[in-house]
Structure 1
Amino acid sequence: MTSTILFVDDEPDLEALILQKFRRQIRDGLVTIIFARDGLEALESLEQNPHVDMVVSDINMPRMDGLSLLAKLQEAEDKKSTIIVSAYGDMSNIRTAMNRGAFDFLTKPIDFVDLETTIQKTIRHIEMLREVRRRQAEAERAHASLSRFFSPEIARRLAVGGEGDGMAVQWRNVATIFTDITGFTSLVESALPETLGELLNEYVGGMTEIVFAHEGTVAKIIGDAIQILFNAPGDQPDYATRAIACAHDLDLWAEDFRARWKDRGVNFGTTRIGAHAGPALVGNFGGNRFFDYTAYGDTINTAARLEAANKHLGTRICVSASIAEGAGKFQGRPVGELVLRGRSEPLRAFEPLPPAKFEQPATTQYSAAFARMEAGDAAAMPAFAALVGMHADDPLAGFHLKRLLNGAKGIRMQLE
C-alpha cells in the first residue's frame, strides 16, 4: 500500500534531497511525496490531496509556521499524523508541538536514517488506525442491521462478537411469544393505504420498543404478527419471568393504542398473545447472503397455537404451564388443559393477570369455581353462573359456563 507524505519546508534544496534519499521507495511504489513551502501552501495542498497520510513539517517558515499549521491540522476532522522538525535543542518548540498533537519530532540537521525510521514508525501507526476504523465501521454497520431484531445492548454485543456469540444454529431452551391482531385482514381491505401505513408502523414500532425494553429478540414480523424470543441469542436465566412481564406490557400498550386509534375513527383489533417455553432450534437460517435469525420446533408452534386459543377462550393472553412454572411469583388463573390443533396430549394453560386484577375477590371466586370444575363437582356450574352474573365482562368465566351448560365436564377441552 502506498503512503503519501507531505513535506512542508522553505529550504530550497530540501525537495531534491528528499527525492534522492527516498528514490527507491518512490520507484517501488511504497511512498508518494509532495511538497509545500509554508503552512498556508500545505493547507491548500491538503485540500487538493485529502489522501495524504502524514505531514513532516519544519517550524520556522514564512506566512504560517509549523506550530500554527499543526494547530490547524488538529482542528480538522481527518487529523493527519504529523512529524515536527525543529532546531537541535529547541525544547520549548518541541514541547509545544507535542502538546498540540504532534506524533513525533526530529531535530535539524536532519539525520536521514532517523527520518526514515520515524516515517516507518508513523506509517505503522497510521495502518493500525486504519484497521481500527475499518473494524469500527464494520461493527457500526452490523449494529445497524442487528438493531432491527435485538435490543440495543444485545445488538452491540453481537456486532462485536459476530457469529461465535449466539448466531450459529443451535438447540437451546427459549421462551417465545406470538402476537396477532383480530380482524386485521378486514382492516387492510377497508383502510386507506396512508392510514394503514401510519397505523401499522406505529403499532410495530411501539411493540418492538417494549420487546427491546425487556431485552427480548424480535425473530419475525409478518404483517401484523410478531414472534419474540427470550434466552436467545444470549443467556437469560430469568427468561420465563421476562416473557410474562413483556406479555403484560405488550397487552397494556396494545390496548392503549387501540383506544387512541378508536378516537380517530379506526377500529383496530385486539392484540392476542400466546407464550410457551421449551427447546427450539435457534440461529441464523439465512445462509451466507441473508440474515434471518429465528427459531423452529414444537415449542414455537405451540406458542403460536396458544395465541390462537385466545379467540376461543375470550382472553388476550394465554401461556403454558412451562412459562408459568418458570416465572418467579407467577400471578394468574388457570384456563384448563387444552388439546391444541395438531396435538394429542393436553397442555395446561394459564391467563397471566396484572397484580391489581389478581388481588381482586373475583379472582379468588374464579379459582374456587375452577377447582370445583376440575373435581367434577356439580356445584361448578352455579359457581361460574354467579361469577358471570357479577362480572359479565369476564369472557373466560363465560366460556367455562357455556361449556358446562352444553354438558362438558372437567377442565380438558379440544380447541380447533
Structure 2
Amino acid sequence: MTATILFVDDEPDLEALILQKFRRQIRDGQLALIFARDGLEALESLEQNPHVDMVVSDINMPRMDGLSLLAKLQEAEEKKSTIIVSAYGDMSNIRTAMNRGAFDFLTKPIDFADLEATIEKTIRHVEMLREVRRRQMEAERAHASLSRFFSPEIARRLAGDVDGDGMEVQWRDVATLFTDITGFTSLVETAPPQTLGELLNEYVGGMTEIVFAHEGTVAKIIGDAIQVLFNAPGDQPDYATRAVACAHALDAWAEDFSASWKARGVNFGATRIGAHAGPALVGNFGGNRFFDYTAYGDTVNTAARLETANKHLGTRICVSASVAKGAENFRGRPVGDLMLRGRSEPLRAFEPLLQAKFEAPATAQYAEAFAKMEAGDAAAMPAFAALVGMHADDPLAGFHLKRLLNGAKGTRMQLE
C-alpha cells in the first residue's frame, strides 16, 4: 500500500528537505507526497486528491492557518488523520489542536527521526481505521443478504461473526408461538399452482414481517405453519408480553388477509395460534454444513398442541398459564384445564383478548359462568346457555355449553 501524505507549510525550503528525507520510501512506492503552502491551497489539493491518507500541517500560515484547516478537515465526512506542527513550547495552540481532533503533534525545529516515527504510527492508525471500515461494510452487506433468509437477530449475529455466542445449543427460557391455517390441505388440492404460490408467499411474508416487528425469531416455516421464538437468540426479559402482543397482531393481520382473498374468490381459512413459555433446548441443530436455528422440548410441543386445541375450542388464539402470568397486563379469559397429549398433568389455558373485548359485558358474564363451572355449580349450564343466547357468535361459550349438556363437569377436559 502507498500512503499519500499532504504536507502544508509556507517555508520555501521544507519541500526539498522532506523529499530528500523520504526519497527511499518514495522510490520504493511506500509514500506519495503532496505539498501546499497554506490551508486554502490544502483544501483545494484535497478536492483534487481525495485519496490522501494523512495531513501534516504547520499552524502559522497566511490566508488560512493550521488550526482553521484542522477545523475544516474535521467537518468533512471522511476525516483525515492530521499531525500538527507548532513552535516548541507553544502548548496553547497544541492543546487547541488536540481538542479539535488532531491525531498527534510535532514541534519545530522538526526532528526528522521523530517525524518519520510519527508518520509511521499515523499510517498504522489509518490502516487500522480502513480495516475497521472494511469489516463494517462487509458486515452490513452480509446482514442485508442474510436478512432475506433469517430473522433479523439471527442475521445480525451471523453477519457479526459472534463466534457462536447465543447460537450454540443451550437451554433457554423462551416463549414460542405456533400458527397454522384451517383447511389448508384442501386449498392446496384445489387451488391453481400460481394462485397458491402467490397466496402463500404473501401470507408468509406478511406474517413474518409482523414477527420481526415484535423482534421475534422465525424458527421454522413448514408450508403454512410458522414457529416463532422469543428470548432467543438474544435476551428479551419481556418475552411473554411480546408473545401475546405478536399473537394479537398476527391474528388481526391474518383475518384481514383471509377476507381480502375471499373477496377474490379464494376460501382462505382462519389462522390458529398457540403459545407456551418455559425451558427449551435452543440453538443451531444443522451441524457444520446446514444452518437450522430452532427449539426442541416439551415447551415447544405444548405450544404446538395449544395451537391444535383451538380447533376444538373454537378459538383462534390459545395460550398457557405461563404465558398469561408472564405477560404484563394480560387480558383474557380462562379456557379450562386441558389434558394435552404427552402431558400427565392438566394445563390451564387462556384466550387472550384485546382491551375492548375484555372490557365488554359479555366477558364478565363468561367469567361468572366459568367460575360456576369450576366450582361444580349446577347453575353453570343455564349461565352458559344465557350467554350463548345473547352471543351466538361466541364459540368458546358454545363449546362449554355443549360439554355441560353432555354431562361433563368442572374445567378439566380431554381434547382429542
Compute the displacement of 1:272 (Å). Answer: 1.1
Structure 1 stretch 326-335 or stretch 167-176: which is displaced more?
Answer: 326-335
Specify whether residues 283 and 18 from structure 1 end up closer, same or farther in structure 2 by C-alpha distance, changes over 3 A only.
same
Compute the displacement of 1:395 (Å). Answer: 0.9
Structure 1 stretch 345-354 or stretch 404-413: which is displaced more?
Answer: 404-413
- Aligned partners of 1:43, 1:367: CA distance in 2, in Å? 76
Contact kept? 2:173, 2:280, Cα under 8 Å:
yes
1:387 aligns with: 387
- Aligned partners of 1:330, 1:166: CA distance in 2, in Å? 29
Compute the displacement of 1:127 (Å). Answer: 3.0
2:31 aligns with: 32
Paired residue total: 407
- Aligned partners of 2:179, 2:262: CA distance in 1, in Å? 20
Where do 1:5-404 residues align within 5 Å? 5=5, 18=18, 21-22=21-22, 31-33=30-32, 46=49, 50=51, 53-55=53-55, 78-82=78-82, 111-134=111-134, 136-137=136-137, 140=140, 144=144, 145=146, 148-150=150-152, 162-163=162-163, 166-187=166-187, 189-190=191-192, 192=195, 195-196=198-199, 199-200=202-203, 203-212=206-215, 216-287=216-287, 291-376=291-376, 378-404=378-404
Specify whether residues 246 and 405 from structure 1 end up closer, same or farther in structure 2 by C-alpha distance, changes over 3 A only.
same
Compute the displacement of 1:314 (Å). Answer: 0.9
Specify whether residues 183 and 33 from structure 1 end up closer, same or farther in structure 2 by C-alpha distance, changes over 3 A only.
same
- Aligned partners of 1:87, 1:361: CA distance in 2, in Å? 85
- Aligned partners of 1:72, 1:359: CA distance in 2, in Å? 62
- Aligned partners of 2:126, 2:98: CA distance in 1, in Å? 17
Contact kept? 2:180, 2:273, Cα under 8 Å:
yes
Contact kept? 2:4, 2:34, Cα under 8 Å:
no
Residue identity (%): 79
TM-score (norm 2): 0.74
Unpaired segments ≥5 residues, structure 1 = none
Cα RMSD after superposing both structures? 4.7
Per-residue CA deviation, residues 67-100 of structure 1 (Å, 9 max, x unaligned), is 9998997787555435577999999x99999999
Unpaired segments ≥5 residues, structure 2 = none
Specify whether residues 89 and 405 from structure 1 end up closer, same or farther in structure 2 by C-alpha distance, changes over 3 A only.
closer
- Aligned partners of 1:326, 1:105: CA distance in 2, in Å? 58
- Aligned partners of 1:94, 1:408: CA distance in 2, in Å? 89
One-letter code aligned to 1:149: S
